[in-house]
Structure 1
C-alpha cells in the first residue's frame, strides 16, 4: 500500500515539475517588445530576398526571433533579440542547386520513387487535420525513412507535419498559435 501511495505521489510531483518547466520554457510573443510584423519589416529593410521562416524561440531567459531569408542562391539565417531587434547571429551560405539535386537522389534511394505517395496526397492528408495554406513541402529522409515535411498556416496558427512518404501515416503533427498583439 505504501509503495502505491509513494508511486502516486512521485508521479504527481514529477508531472507538476514537468508542467511547470514547460510553462516557463515556452516563448510567448505577447511578452516581447517587438512582434513578428515589426521583425519582418526590420529584416526586409536590411536583407534583400524573401523571408522563408520566422519563429519566436527562447534561449535561456532571452527570447529571440529566428529568421531565414533567401535571395537567389543565398540563404541567410538570423537570430534577433525579440525585445530590441539587435542581430545576435548571422550566417549566410550559398545554396548549390546541384547539391539539392544530389540530396534528393540520396533520399529516393531509401524507397523507390514508385513506392512514394505524391506530394499532393501528403498535402491532402495534412489538410484533413489542419485546413490551412501550404507554405512549404519537402521530401526528406529521416532515420532511413522517406518523409514529407509540410508547413501550413491559417490565421495566426501554423502547423508542421511529418508524413511517411510510403504509407501516408502522420508521424508528427505540431500546431502553434502565434500571438503577435502588442
Structure 2
C-alpha cells in the first residue's frame, strides 16, 4: 500500500514539474522583444509587396511571427524570430495571373489602391476596443476582402472583421477570460 501511495505521489510531483515548465515556456511566447509594428516595419523595408498576414505564433517553445507578403507576381511566406527579427524561414512562390483560382486573383487585387490599408484597419479596431493588435490578416470572404484582426488587453480579447474597401466593421466579438468563481 505504501509503495502504491509513493508511486502516485511521485507521478503527481512529476506532472507538476512538467506542467510548470510548459507554463513558463508559454510565458516567453506571450512577451516577445519585438512587437508586431516593429516586425511589420522590418518586412516592409525588405519587401515591396503588401503584408496580408502577420501573426504571433509559437514554434517549438520559440515565439515567431508568421508573415505573408504579396508582390505583383510573388507570394512570400516568412517566419521571423519574435525576439531578434531574424528570418528563420522564407518560402516564395510565383503567382500565375492566368490561373482561374479565385484566391490567387484576390491576392493580386490586394495591391489595389481602393483598400483602406492595414494601418487604417488597426485604427478602426483600436477605436472600438482598447487593446494591442496581436494578429491581422487580409482575407477573401465570398469575393469580399476583409481584414481579420485580433486584439488583446489583459484577459479580454476582441476579434474584428472589417471591410477592406470601406472600413465598415462587419463583425466584432469581445470575450473575457472569466474565472469560474465569478459565476457563483
Q: Give TM-score scaled by structure 2 length.
A: 0.45
